[in-house]
Amino acid sequence: MDSIAIQGGARLNGTIPVSGAKNSALKLMAASILTDQPLRLTNMPRLADTKFLGRLLRELGVEVTENGDGGEQETLFHAARIESSFAPYDLVRQMRASFNVLGPLLARTGEAKVSLPGGCTIGARPVDLHLQALTAMGVEIELDEGYVIARAPNGLKGAEIEFPFVSVGATEHALLAAVLADGVTVLKKAAREPEIGDLARCLVAMGARVDGIDTDELVITGVGSLGGTTWSVIPDRIEMGSYAVAAAMAGGEVRLTKGRAELIQALSDKMVEAGVEVTPTDDGVIVKRDPARRLKAVNVATEVYPGFATDLQAQFMALMTTADGDSVIHENIFENRFMHAPELARLGADISVHAGEAVVKGVEVLHGAQVMATDLRASVSLVIAGLVAEGETTVGRVYHLDRGFERLEEKLGACGAQIRRIKGEDHEH
């Protein structure tokens, strides 16, 4: 398994382009099942997760053609015919988002057999809300040996669905199914994440009728069929926020381009409170900090969008490890999402965790050590801490990182970070 080595102490100065959003790209890829016309997605991130889903789509009969690299990446999806509506365990277990092919397969073919996604390290994240929404739309569901066997013998029907709590995955899944349903579907307590707005707007460009985009009530009027379109994937706000925190941690001045400042507003506000300069630009932000001045400790609580993103909590915790004072971090979205805390402690951080709250007492310096990534967002927090830790930090299990960050070493290295990837065969942990 690969690892990443970071020599701490280098300032970051330069430009980092933000990639397309993983969490949007995956759902847009699933939307390709809904039409027999080509769907062209531009600004496509090249990640382990998009590769996994591409493999699954090919199994189902979708032609997937990748073009371009670097800044102009696009992928063409063409589901002229669905050859199979079976999504096997070995493909779905590698990534939860692949479960979202269920609704589109039902909408297109009236039946599907899709593996349950299996465990996830950051808490339960069950799919029961997804299944309840589909059941309300007339789907007959049975669970058999870890598979969802679903049939819509009379087609999907519009329904009024009120989610018991805000769920990004269930909102997206119900939206994907409802666009071809017969009648009107109302989704109440819908999630409002920008990636959902991106999916909804792409579906509209394909001919769907969706009202209430970016609100907590989506009204979808089913149509008979969808066409193809060309769609640019929204910038990845989590990648953008992660690099903004990295720049704040290391000090220096970094311009983040191909992004959108408003997508990380909650994070920017907290960084400014801590003493970082964050200046919005027309395609991102400039993050600037004088490393000679210590940051102030500030408290954060994760919330659904537009609140502070749970996917940026680990990164912000890393930033607070060397701040002046104590910061309290409340995690309100996922249980069990402080697994990075003991790994940060190996670098010398002082963090105590009680249930959904972590208290970070800022220390003067961190020291390099061997640490291990536990999940996607936690892994980048260890890289961020390694940027300032004295000596060398080695982050193991970086396959987690490759799921959500494209060319991480290249992007940070271009700004002066002393960072390199160690291939699995030449480095034993």
The span from the CA of 122 to the CA of 297, in Å, is: 26
Whole-prediction pTM: 0.95
In the chain, the amino acid numbered 106 is L
Name 146's Cβ contacts closer than 8 Å, sequence gap at least 6.
89, 115, 116, 118
The 10 Å Cβ neighbour count of residue 364 is 8
Domain ranges of the chain: 3-19+235-426, 22-232
Just give the CATH number of 22-232.
3.65.10.10
Asked if the model's pLDDT at residue 119 lies above 80, the reply is: no
- If DSSP states are collapsed to H, E and C, what string results for 251-293? CEEEEEECCCHHHHHHHHHHHHHHCCEEEEECCEEEEEECCCC
- Cα dihedral 333, 132, 225, 54 in deg (nearest 10): 50
For residue 123, what pLDDT band results from cuts at 50, 70 and 90? low
Chain center to CA of 124: 17
Share of the chain above pLDDT 90, in %: 87
Question: Which position among 80, 120, 124, 365 bears the catalytic label?
Answer: 120
Q: Is 129 annotated as a binding residue?
A: yes
Known active-site residue 415:
no
Q: What is the CATH number of domain 3-19+235-426?
A: 3.65.10.10
Tell me the pLDDT tens digit for each residue of 191-222: 999 999 999 999 999 999 999 999 999 999 99
| 333 known member of a binding site | yes
Give the separation between CA 412 and CA 383, rounded to whole angstroms: 10
Say yes or no: do domains 3-19+235-426 and 22-232 share a fold: yes
Question: 297 falls in which pLDDT band (50, 70, 90)?
Answer: very high
Q: Is 258 annotated as a binding residue?
A: no
Tell me the two tokens of residue 122. 């950051």
DSSP states along 327-377: EEEE--S-TT--THHHHHHHTT-EEEEETTEEEEE--S--B--EEE--SHH
Rounded Cα distance between 139 and 136, Å, is 7
CA distances from 213 to 25, 216, 225, 236 (A): 18, 8, 20, 19
| Residue 286 labelled as part of a binding site | no
Query: Residue 357: which pLDDT band, with cuts at 50, 70 and 90?
Result: very high
